[in-house]
């Protein structure tokens, strides 16, 4: 037999709640690592995917791409990890390994990258299934090492929320005294603040809500701008070198473009889809400004981030839940009622 059957949580349609399912995990191949999943973060992308918000979901879906666990088995050719190691898996479990992006450690832009869920497992001829499950089997090249000093539930969100904000911060050379703004204080937003602050930047949060001001400051933000208040927005016109936009739904970029400095870049990471209203080009042209996008990060860059978090003692602020609470957690996430990431304790699925 080329697989084992394990328990998971997922859904068979966009309308249905998540429920317990059984899925196949491939038998460990030469380069594979089998991981007993301890914690899995709950990303807004999990919700988008389960509910087919992006129109490309194939069912059944088992979400989860912020995975931390313990190695329980390794293949005969594995050298990076050993049984008992605490390891992590993020949004990618494979790529072609030969294209220019793969050679440049940008596997996330490989045309053949395999997502941790919703990808294609050519060994089992099925969809890949994510971390809302008891175990996962992944090629060692896509398995990361976890620093020993960090809380394991708190490190899980680094695998997506962390790397998705770290990668643009690094690409746009954020460092000491850079002026960075983050739009939206959720899972990605709170990691963006922590990481930009740790890089030495001066950090501003744009939020719709006055009740997140104290939290944002506690996370290290130097200033909070309420984006719905015109007078607040005026205060920061022309200020930011980089803006990380984590808003998950259609929204107007134009007011934020006004707050970029000359040569500044607004990086969209949250919303996939057409913008309405459209972006006005005049403010871009008049200040050599850019609107850009960015997708998660490569494997080497994710390891760099995990090591950085180990060194700076950075983890996510999490609310640990049981697997059976996932549907309520999705509803709460839609209302921004989470501080600031749900993480599932996978013991609850096993018992």
Q: Which residues bind Zn ion (CB under 5 A)?
A: 43, 45, 95-96, 99, 102, 110, 160
298 binds ligand NAP (CB under 6 A): no
Distances (CA, A) of 268 to 63, 161, 182, 281: 23, 14, 10, 16
Strands (E), 90-174: 92-94, 114-115, 120-121, 126-127, 135-139, 144-145
User: Considering CB distances under 5 to 8 angstroms, the limit depending on partner class, which of Zn ion, ligand NAP, none binds residue 24?
Assistant: none
User: Which pairing describes strands 240-245 and 318-322: parallel, antiparallel, or unpaired?
Assistant: unpaired
Given 115, 248, 264, 298, the residue binding ligand NAP (CB under 6 A): 248
Distances (CA, A) of 108 to 1, 69, 219, 299, 305: 32, 22, 28, 8, 15
User: Considering CB distances under 5 to 8 angstroms, the limit depending on partner class, which of ligand NAP, Zn ion, none binds residue 110?
Assistant: Zn ion
Nearest to 64 by CA among 122, 16, 125, 9: 9
45 binds ligand NAP (CB under 6 A): yes
Complex with ligand NAP: residue 209 or 262, whichever CB lies closer: 209
User: Which pairing describes strands 32-42 and 126-127: parallel, antiparallel, or unpaired?
Assistant: unpaired
Q: How far is the CB of 75 from ligand NAP (least distance, A)?
A: 29
User: Considering CB distances under 5 to 8 angstroms, the limit depending on partner class, which of Zn ion, ligand NAP, none binds residue 178?
Assistant: none
Given 18, 43, 144, 169, the residue binding ligand NAP (CB under 6 A): 43
Q: What is the 3-state secondary structure (H, E, C) of 262-302?
A: EEEEEEECCCCCCCCCCCCCHHHHCCCCEEEECCCCCHHHH
**Residue of minimal CB distance from ligand NAP?**
186
130 binds ligand NAP (CB under 6 A): no
Which region among 30-38, 123-131, 228-236, 293-301 touches ligand NAP (by CB under 6 A)?
293-301
Cβ-based neighbours of 262, under 8 Å, separated by 6 or more: 238, 287, 288, 289
Complex with Zn ion: residue 159 or 291, whichever CB lies closer: 159
Q: Which two tokens stand for residue 104?
A: 């440049």
- Tally of CB atoms within 10 A around 306: 24
188 binds ligand NAP (CB under 6 A): yes
189 binds ligand NAP (CB under 6 A): yes
Nearest to 290 by CA among 169, 164, 170, 172: 172
Number of shown-chain residues binding ligand NAP (CB under 6 A): 29
164 binds ligand NAP (CB under 6 A): yes
Complex with ligand NAP: residue 81 or 212, whichever CB lies closer: 212
Given 24, 26, 251, 289, the residue binding ligand NAP (CB under 6 A): 251
Contact of 158 with 313, CB cutoff 8 Å? no
Q: Give the Cα separation of 221 and 205 in Å (integer).
A: 7
Q: Binding pattern to ligand NAP, positions 305-344, x when CB under 6 A? A: ----------------------------x--x--------
The owner of tokens 């739009």 is 183
160 binds ligand NAP (CB under 6 A): yes
User: Considering CB distances under 5 to 8 angstroms, the limit depending on partner class, which of Zn ion, ligand NAP, none binds residue 269?
Assistant: ligand NAP
| Contacts of ligand NAP in 196-235 (CB under 6 A) | 207-209, 212
Chain centroid to CA 172: how far? 18
User: Considering CB distances under 5 to 8 angstroms, the limit depending on partner class, which of Zn ion, ligand NAP, none binds residue 248?
Assistant: ligand NAP
Complex with Zn ion: residue 99 or 275, whichever CB lies closer: 99
Judge residue 149's burial from the number of C-beta atoms within 10 Å of its C-beta, 0-12 exposed, 13-18 middle, 19 or more buried.
exposed
Residues that bind ligand NAP (CB under 6 A): 43-45, 48, 160-161, 164, 184-189, 207-209, 212, 246-249, 251, 269-270, 294-296, 333, 336
């Amino acid at each position: 037999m080329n697989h084992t059957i394990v328990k998971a949580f997922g859904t068979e349609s966009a309308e249905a709640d998540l429920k317990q399912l059984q899925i196949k995990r491939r038998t460990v191949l030469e380069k594979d690592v089998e991981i007993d999943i301890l914690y899995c973060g709950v990303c807004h992308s999990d919700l988008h995917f389960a509910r087919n918000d992006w129109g490309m979901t194939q069912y059944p879906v088992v979400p989860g791409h912020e995975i931390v666990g313990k190695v329980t088995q390794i293949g005969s050719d594995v050298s990076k990890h050993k049984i008992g190691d605490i390891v992590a898996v993020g949004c990618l479990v494979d790529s072609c390994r030969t294209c220019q992006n793969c050679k440049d450690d940008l596997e996330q832009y490989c045309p053949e990258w395999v997502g941790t869920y919703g990808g294609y497992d050519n060994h089992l001829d099925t969809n890949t299934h994510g971390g809302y499950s008891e175990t996962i089997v992944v090629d060692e090249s896509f398995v990361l090492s976890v620093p020993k000093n960090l809380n394991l539930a708190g490190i899980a969100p680094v695998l997506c929320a962390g790397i998705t904000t770290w990668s643009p911060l690094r690409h746009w050379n954020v460092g000491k005294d850079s002026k960075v703004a983050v739009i939206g204080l959720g899972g990605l937003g709170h990691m963006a603040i922590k990481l930009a602050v740790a890089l030495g930047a001066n950090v501003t949060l744009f939020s719709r809500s006055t009740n997140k001001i104290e939290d944002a400051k506690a996370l290290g933000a130097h200033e909070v701008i309420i984006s719905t208040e015109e007078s607040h927005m005026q205060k920061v016109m022309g200020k930011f070198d980089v803006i990380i936009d984590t808003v998950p739904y259609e929204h107007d970029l134009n007011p934020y473009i006004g707050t970029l400095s000359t040569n500044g870049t607004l990086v969209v990471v949250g919303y996939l889809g057409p913008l309405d209203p459209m972006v006005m080009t005049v403010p871009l042209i008049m200040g050599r400004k850019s609107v850009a996008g960015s997708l998660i990060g490569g494997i080497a860059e994710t390891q760099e981030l995990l090591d950085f978090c180990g060194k700076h003692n950075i983890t996510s602020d999490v609310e640990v839940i049981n697997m059976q609470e996932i549907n309520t957690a999705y509803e709460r996430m839609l209302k921004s009622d989470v501080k600031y990431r749900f993480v599932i304790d996978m013991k609850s699925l096993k018992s």
